[in-house]
Amino acid sequence: MEAEAAKLIGAGIAMIGAMGAGLGVGMAAFGGVQGIARNPDAAGAIQTNMILGIVFTEAIAIYCLVVAMLILFVF
């Protein structure tokens, strides 16, 4: 019984990293939109770099999800 509760708590703690990823995506999008608003001529380069940053940030959230699923279903 205690092991099941510990697994649920561990999975919840593992998903805290997804909150950080959400904040990172929001900050990247904010910076990209602000940069495009200040310099519309550089929109293509800014958008490319912004999307690349968002992808790497979302990868962290996916790792958190994988760790949480491993804790719940494997251990």
pLDDT digits (tens, 9 = 90+) for 10-68: 999 999 989 999 999 999 999 999 999 999 999 999 999 999 999 999 999 999 999 99
Alpha carbon distance 16, 26 (integer Å) = 16
State residue 9's pLDDT score. 94
Which among 73, 69, 74 has a CA at the least distance from the CA of 14? 69
State residue 17's pLDDT score. 87
* 64's tokens: 């958190």
Alpha carbon distance 14, 11 (integer Å) = 5
Classify domain 2-73 by CATH architecture.
Up-down Bundle (1.20)
State residue 1's pLDDT score. 78
Q: pLDDT confidence of 73, banded at 50, 70, 90?
A: very high
